Chains A and B, each alone.
Chain A
Amino acid sequence: MSKKTTYTLPIGPIHPALKEPVAFEFETDGERIINVDFHVGHVHRGIEWIGMHRNPVQILYIAERICGICNICHPIAFCRAVENAAGIEVPERADYIRVIMAELERIHSHILWAGVAAHEIGFDTVLHLSWAMREKVLDLIEYLTGNRITKAIMAVGGVRRDITENQYPTINNALNYYKENLDTIKSVFLDDKSIQMRAKNCGILTKEDALKLCAVGPTTRASGVKKDVRVDQAYCAYGDLNIDYMTPDLLTGEVNGDVYDRIVVRLLEVEQSIDLIEQCIDMLPAGDIMAEPKIPKLLAMLKKVEGDGIGRAEAPRGEVIHYVKLKAGDAPFTWKVRAPTYNNLLPWVPMLLGEEVADIPIVAASTDPCLSCTNRAIVIKGNKREVLDNEALHRMSVEKTRRLAL
């Protein structure tokens, strides 16, 4: 028997299957993938560095721009980190409004993802169908915050806009629209034969791998791992709400950890988000929306704070963590962001191994990667990019921890 010849198929950094740059290198035997490697770091923007030269109120503006889609959960995580460091008590009403915003963002993100996923498997009709549905939530977000995409509603110590009672009918209208139309999109995604053919038993991530590789968000929940910051460490108002982990077995009765299950989890989460918003509106307590409405006063207070804080939030893609260490003066001593995609990168390897070339786009998209948010560092010496191995990274993190004097 002669040895089978394999060839290398590069996908990325720029490729129609990828919405953001990541360089895959596949070793393939015919259509079968036998080895996967990938490199990130093409869109490093130095966000943390920018942040370390600004005061916390200004950083909020940067934090909102880490990700185009997760522009609620990053500010929430950042605000909570600063509030944690400074010991600011957020008014209850603001917490509820934060949850409403976060859930609207989740509805938007998941429906947007559904469209992208459909496009990846060549089903453009569903792309247009789901993106037409997405308009309604964008309209609602614009109605509530004044902006369609980057909402600019978070503030350290609360939120900047209140939701008044005369806005309820519009909110209810939009939510009812989704309740009525979600069945359509559910039946399109879950019952369509050609989507099933592409999504079932494709890109499987086992529960063991999901746990071992610390996958987060819908990616890990689709593999049956019950992990959700909203439940595990109920922040904001989530502790008061009736909320549970969304795993695919709730709908299909089984957990396979394939692309289909990830679709199921996201559709279930859209439903859950609608329910959570309704709960929030029912229970919305009266009161202030800002702990300290005067920004100069807040800033003056933050300038004096010494100490660190951590903020966690469940983004549509998984857990996002912000760490802030404040020192006396304007800018924080350090600001560290960990976007959910960082954890969801390595699960790509077990998902893609043994699959076909045709599965690459949908499997890569199934974790809903957000690479610009993930790129936190790039090492360039001279004109060459360097790749750091595990040991070097570990050594550097120990050094950094010492430097931060934790």
Chain B
Amino acid sequence: MILVLKSVIGACLVAFIGIVFGLLYKGIDRKLHAHMQMRVGPPVTQPFKDVRKLFLKENLVPENAVDWVFNLMPVISLVSVISILLYVPMGVDPILSTKGDLILVLYLLMLPAVCMILGGFASSSPYATVGAQREMVMMISYEFPLAVTIIAIVWRLSKIYSASNIFTLQFIAAHPLWNNVGVFGVIGLAILLAVLLIVTPIELSKIPFDVPEAETEIAGGLLAEYSGKNLGMFYISDAVKTVVMASIVVALFFPYNISQYFSFPQYVDYVIDFAFFLFKAFVVIFVSVTVVRTSFARLKIDQIAHMLWVPVTITSIIGLLLLYLDTVF
């Protein structure tokens, strides 16, 4: 009974937090992006206003679209990103935890992209078709370095601890790897962190890796035909996905909490840890989304694929090897 209550209320709470902070981070990102470009920029609350307006707007379905796929995909996309949040420790323990939830998270992370691809193909727009093809190429390219990074960390942890729930984000967050490895390990982890920070904007399709949406090339690509509530749901799922990616980076690499340095009652500890988590997530988003999208031009899809397959993959494998060397010496 308590478990059911916990998962229902917790899920609602997590969804609420994910959406609110996702949109808030989007607003902060836009504001900082604008300031870095010598602009005033929209108010921080702009994404909330955008969403409100999108949900008031008419939902247009193109004539040739497969309408049930077209309308279903935004919902699945939003549901999948919110369900990842249930597995991610946000300063406090996650609501759900199974034996291999990291693998589950990897697959759930793919779902929004898959939804956008299907929705794009279903919309029958040539721009969306080009966008969907590009998104597929991107997915094929970034999955490998992402997987290598996560597997490397878990594998290194499994050499230290022999717990059965080693593949959970909760376990990884509770046992920071930085304290338990030697020099090689630290270098390897730093390399893997860099890889993950590169993969983050790609996973989130942000400039310079926003080719599936590329406004000036294919007029919004995948989302070209989406409007109203459907677009609003994609908008929200993008915002939540940003929080998810940031919390995965935080959970894998910076799971430290600061509450133990104070002596407050436990519920205050929760608040402090959560606030500190939000701060860490903000730093990750700032570094790998805001700064990156301010300082680069959009790349072409073949350049991105090449970059991911050759330099980034090789870098991630070097990181893995360094972690291995760390166990040898």
Q: Is B67 an interface residue (CB 8 A)?
A: no
Q: Looking across the interface, which residue of chain B has its beta carbon closest to that of A192?
A: B297
Q: In whole angstroms, how far apart are the Cα atoms of A134 and B64 in the complex? A: 45
Query: When each residue 7-34 of chain A gets 1 if its CB lies under 8 Å from chain B and 0 otherwise, what string results?
Result: 1111000011100000000001011000
CB pair A357 B36 closer than 8 Å: no
Partner of B298 from A31, A123, A129, A360 at Cβ < 8 Å: A123
Query: When each residue 277-313 of chain B gets 1 if its CB lies under 8 Å from chain A and 0 otherwise, what string results?
Result: 0000000000000000011111111110000000000
B134 partner residues in chain A, CB cutoff 8 A = 31
A359 partner residues in chain B, CB cutoff 8 A = 300
Q: In whole angstroms, how far apart are the Cα atoms of A28 and B296 in the complex? A: 27
Partner of A124 from B37, B214, B299 at Cβ < 8 Å: B37
Q: How far is the CB of A132 from chain B (nearest CB, A)?
A: 6
Within 8 A of A (CB), among B111-144: 126-127, 129-130, 133-134
CB pair A30 B133 closer than 8 Å: yes
A-B contact count (CB 8 A): 81
B81 partner residues in chain A, CB cutoff 8 A = none
CB pair B210 A122 closer than 8 Å: yes
CB pair A7 B126 closer than 8 Å: yes
Q: Is A198 an interface residue (CB 8 A)?
A: yes
Q: In whole angstroms, how far apart are the Cα atoms of A30 and B133 in the complex? A: 8
Most chain B CB neighbours (cut-off 10 Å) among A10, A15, A124: A124
Q: How far is the CB of A311 from chain B (nearest CB, A)?
A: 36
Q: In whole angstroms, how far apart are the Cα atoms of A254 and B26 in the complex? A: 44
A30 partner residues in chain B, CB cutoff 8 A = 133
Q: Looking across the interface, which residue of chain B has its beta carbon closest to that of A122?
A: B298
CB pair B216 A119 closer than 8 Å: yes
Q: Is A292 an interface residue (CB 8 A)?
A: no
CB pair A356 B216 closer than 8 Å: no
Knowing A30-B133, A31-B301 touch, does A194 contact B126 (C-beta < 8 A)?
no
CB pair A122 B216 closer than 8 Å: yes
CB pair B299 A197 closer than 8 Å: yes
A360 partner residues in chain B, CB cutoff 8 A = 217
Knowing A9-B130, A122-B298 touch, does A194 contact B208 (C-beta < 8 A)?
yes
Knowing A8-B126, A9-B126, A9-B130 touch, does A198 contact B219 (C-beta < 8 A)?
no
Q: In whole angstroms, how far apart are the Cα atoms of A350 and B74 in the complex? A: 41
A356 partner residues in chain B, CB cutoff 8 A = 300-302
A selection of 23 A-B contacts at a CB cut-off of 8 Å is A7-B129, A10-B126, A16-B216, A28-B130, A30-B133, A31-B134, A120-B216, A122-B214, A123-B296, A125-B36, A125-B37, A125-B294, A132-B38, A194-B208, A197-B297, A197-B299, A197-B300, A197-B303, A198-B297, A198-B298, A357-B130, A357-B218, A358-B214
